[in-house]
Structure 1
């Protein structure tokens, strides 16, 4: 039987999946809670491409089937994508908090949403957002002038920049109130999702516990802001002339798929806010911090920026003219993928890498681990943008690097993420040099990868290199 062949209702003749040893009572529950990324990395190093990790007390124990090889990842995300669904407890919690948008929807809901949204994410349309990114980056560049030869936390700063950029693109002139509400409410909601998503049992959301009430208040505030702006766009109707993404979403329609109602619009907006700012903020933070720790690569990136741009602001067409800077971003995404862990649930039994995976199994993909496989990434923890020259990329399996997922559910915003990252980095590196203060940054897996400590850099103004005011 060929690799990945579906075995129908039974497990089939595949070999048993090796198991990571854990505590007698709770399995690997403590390890996953304290250091899930390190636990998955150890599982691969000890047992190979497919490993079973068990967590929880008897009677409530969950078995996670972890798939670490590029070939296995391709099977789950692409060649057998229909057999691996977003039906696990974690996605259900995200769905209940952030809505049934592109990230969380499935089946016909997902296909309809994707068809309506796809025209708004063509390369030509996305390229038009470069100006908004440049405007928000210019504000950061100017604000940092007060910290000359001082210290900035690039984690906090890039989160602020990415949030304002995506809010401006989504809402246009309504960026201020929206960005403030998101910055205030998102941390409360995401912590709530994580706590419930990784708990073996949860009380109903309707019970008036302090945690439930805090999350409900944050969701009410965030939903209210979105609903108010959506209502304004709906009332403007055909007279709306804005080119922000919300106006375009409100106008999206087809004879087959209809249009989004107000609740569906809010779901899309919330998912775009979540996925659109936290992921890019992660990439920008670690790209800057890695360059701050590697002055030779920082100088090379800055030389390319200066040679290509001079003193003018970057534009979308410059993305292809800044290949080394793009390689820096890709290498940062390899070492610090914004989605370090991806979950699916197997519908039917199958085999992955010759191992039997039963129907109903929770399947875990971990870019954090696959991006560090030494057979594809020699000296995997070393920062080396040269790994992403066209020749090097052509020599690796397709799914040795998958920060944007893959297959039919690949991230619709991947071109925007690259564009935003390159535009912002070009302006920042032209204005300032960076030296790392915190040489190591502890990280953890939330909804996205998150820093668990400061990422401070000492910055120095480079005269004549400041972006547009």
Structure 2
């Protein structure tokens, strides 16, 4: 017999509304520690109160994303806002529409195709490194720098020679849409988008400008036909299914906007926190540099190096464990369900949180510590599959996972061939938009490796000296 989900104690007037809005990640983490792996929040004023469920165990996550995926659908308010902001691409589409889109897009995300993007990623990584070398004080904000790097890399892959036309439009307008999605997605009442409020006008203008630049480039590619161009817009325009079906212009735009979101904001977060964590942990940084130097010997990182740079991969996975780009994932169940033995009524908003599961003491030794050896092969093999799920899982797992790891691995290898990093800011507050964001500066000092101070030999260095460096 199913058990009743424990209710999180809350304010008698607004329930858990204020806590969930002001400190969502903290509220989820405290609920798991106090009540267990399946919890219920009641939020809102009397007469408007709604229940929200949290599921935090690896086993529960697997049920929702994999074994019961057909019942747990992308039909909550946040996904509605994403659809209305950037269209109904792979991120938000469902059922036959999703399956059609996935079939059309899958050929562009095979390992072979994605490996072909390595040169474009390396080009942008070198450009970022050259910019850092010219910094007079050696200070960079890792969050801002990685946002720019990842945006340029994915825009180059999507738009090819039109990168400079598109990038400023994307840079200015995506944050406006992201803020709107978050604000409206969690609001108890949402003002219709057609009302001419200042916020609605800003969002409409941002969406219009973003759509216009995508539509123009798509139209140009369609008119040009098959010219041999290999940017992704050209490939999407030319794509045909087995029955000859094609994506229309709006559907191409929807996919492009999803790839812009997933291809730059998520990877930027992973890279920014990787740089900052390595800057705070010189022993891990030294181990990574040693691997990069030994394997690459000064040459450029290539796609094949994902398998030859295992510690770089461990660092990235550990950064994504501690700071998952998508810290909360929502679903709504069409029919009543049982998850981890608990009854969840039909039509419930159910939230998973990589932020919480990635800190679950049942799966992680020292869950709050940065330790890339959490992802040593033997440690990974000993954990449940869904103890770590920054890319989701099941039939809706992120199609761009290989691209994200390729981009991030090439970037880290390129940067640490050239620099040593030291943290200036240490405790970085985080918040939520469409993806996790650093809410303050994330400054690190970059020192070119050919200009670094003379060091003592490893054997003569004391523990205190190592920490100071």
TM-score range, shorter chain: over 0.9
Deviations 1:224-254, CA, capped at 9 Å, x for gaps: 000010010000113x211111111111111
* 2:315 is the alignment partner of 1:328: yes
Does residue 279 of structure 1 match 2:261? no
Per-residue CA distance 1:400-455 (angstroms, 9 max, x = gap) = 00000000000000000000000000001111111111101100122111111111
Which of the numbers 341, 360, 368 marks the counterpart of 1:354? 341
Q: Deviations over 1:363-403 (max 9, x none)?
A: 10000000001111011010110111111111000000000
1:303 alignment counterpart: 290
* Contact persistence 1:148–1:461 (CA under 8 A): no
> Normalised by the size of structure 2, how large is the TM-score?
0.95
- 132, 147, 156: which one pairs with 1:159? 147
Secondary structure of 1:450's partner?
strand
Aligned match of 2:301: 314
Q: Structure 1 CA distance, aligned partners of 2:190 and 2:361? A: 39
> Aligned residues, how many?
452
Q: Which of 1, 7, 23 is equivalent to 1:19?
A: 7
Separation (CA, whole Å) in 2 of partners of 1:177 and 1:218: 16
2: CA distance, partners of 1:330 / 1:445: 20
Q: For 2:23, what is the secondary structure of its paired residue?
A: helix
2:133 aligned partner: 145
Q: Does 1:430 align with 2:417?
A: yes
2:419 maps to 1:407: no
Match of 1:56 among 29, 35, 44: 44
- The separation in 1 between residues aligned to 2:242 and 2:356, in whole angstroms, is 44
Q: Which segment is superposed worse, 55-64 or 110-119?
A: 55-64
Structure-1 residue corresponding to 2:467: none
Q: Which residue of 2 aligns with 1:132?
A: 120
Q: After TM superposition, list the pairs within 5 Å mapping 1:158-197 onto structure 2.
A: 158-197=146-185
Identify the match of residue 196 of structure 2 among 205, 208, 214. 208
Verify: 1:381 aligned to 2:368, yes or no.
yes
Secondary structure class of the residue paired with 1:147:
coil
Distance 1:232 1:319 in 2: 35
Tell me by how many angstroms 1:255 deviates: 3.3
Give the corresponding residue for 2:460.
none
2:463 matched residue in structure 1 = none
CA distance in 1, matches of 2:243, 2:28: 44
How far, CA to CA, are the matches of 2:423 and 2:102 in structure 1?
41
Does structure 2 retain, via aligned residues, the 8 Å contact 1:112–1:257? no
Cα separation, 2, equivalents of 1:464 and 1:311:
17
User: Does the CA contact (< 8 Å) of 1:148 and 1:459 recur in 2?
Assistant: no
Unaligned ranges ≥5, structure 2: 453-469
Q: TM-score, normalised by structure 1?
A: 0.95
Deviation per CA, 1:185-234, whole angstroms, max 9, x where unpaired? 01111111111111011111011110000110011100000001001000
1:442 to 411, 426, 429: 429
Tell me which of the two structures has the higher relative contact order, counting C-alpha pairs closer than 8 angstroms and 6 or more residues apart.
Answer: 1
